[in-house]
């Protein structure tokens, strides 16, 4: 089939055909209420953050949402607010994907750096990070997951599990 040579006579239509498709801006969830850490495993969806900067929330091919720390962005982070009923040691694991080696995410609470979480190369498929132990104090606190200069990591959810008895 030959192209429509009359298209140039229809300037509005011709420009519409040539202009790039407009992408709808990514929708981010509104700030979430604090999540209470229970005695068992507490799972929080990655898109259930209470604050963010430099990340994108995308539909996940397995359903739900995922949070992407874009490559080469030095100031990307997501915050999660937790209510910790009693001080203690918790294990944290992230469901993450990256096609790159040597990726890390930093975990902090306020100015207190809690851990550096290694994100193994999962060839872009969902995998689980090694469990990392952190100490959390009683009360409401915000945990920040930040990505230092890296080449792209996606998060699906995080899980925290109490390791010691309540005091």
pLDDT tens, residue by residue, 96-150: 999 989 899 999 999 999 999 999 999 999 999 999 999 999 999 999 999 886 6
Q: Is 10 helix (H, G, I), strand (E, B) or coil?
A: coil
Which comes out higher in pLDDT, residue 152 or 15?
152
Q: How confident is the model at residue 88 (pLDDT cuts 50, 70, 90)?
A: very high
Q: Is 29 helix (H, G, I), strand (E, B) or coil?
A: coil
DSSP code of residue 8? G
The pLDDT mean for the chain works out to 82
User: ∠37-41-43 over CA atoms, to 5°?
Assistant: 80
- 25-78 pLDDT per residue, tens: 333 344 578 999 988 899 999 999 999 999 999 999 889 999 999 777 778 999
Do 57 and 29 meet the contact criterion of CB atoms below 8 Å apart? yes
Q: Give the whole-number percent of the chain exceeding pLDDT 70.
A: 78
Nearest alpha carbon to residue 92 among 80, 76, 100: 80
Identify the helix (H) or strand (E) that includes residue 17: helix 11-18
Instruction: Answer whether residue 153 shows pLDDT above 90.
Output: yes
Identify the helix (H) or strand (E) that includes residue 15: helix 11-18
Measured CA to CA in angstroms, residue 124 lies from 73, 94, 127, 167 at distances of 19, 14, 9, 41
Burial of 61 (0-12, 13-18, 19+ CB in 10 A): exposed
């Amino acid at each position: 089939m030959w192209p429509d040579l009359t298209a140039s006579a229809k300037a509005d239509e011709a420009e519409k055909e040539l202009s790039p498709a407009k992408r709808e801006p990514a929708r981010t969830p509104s700030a979430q209420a604090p999540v209470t850490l229970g005695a068992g495993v507490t799972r929080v969806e990655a898109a259930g953050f209470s604050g963010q900067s430099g990340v994108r929330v995308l539909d996940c091919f397995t359903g739900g949402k995922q949070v992407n720390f874009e490559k080469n962005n030095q100031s990307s982070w997501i915050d999660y607010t937790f209510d910790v009923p009693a001080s203690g040691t918790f294990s944290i694991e992230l469901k993450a994907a990256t096609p790159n080696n040597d990726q890390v995410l930093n975990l902090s609470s306020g100015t207190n750096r809690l851990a550096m979480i290694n994100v193994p190369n999962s060839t872009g498929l969902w995998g689980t990070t090694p469990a990392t132990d952190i100490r959390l104090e009683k009360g409401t606190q915000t945990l920040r997951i930040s990505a230092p200069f890296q080449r792209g990591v996606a998060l699906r959810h995080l899980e925290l599990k109490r390791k010691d008895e309540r005091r």
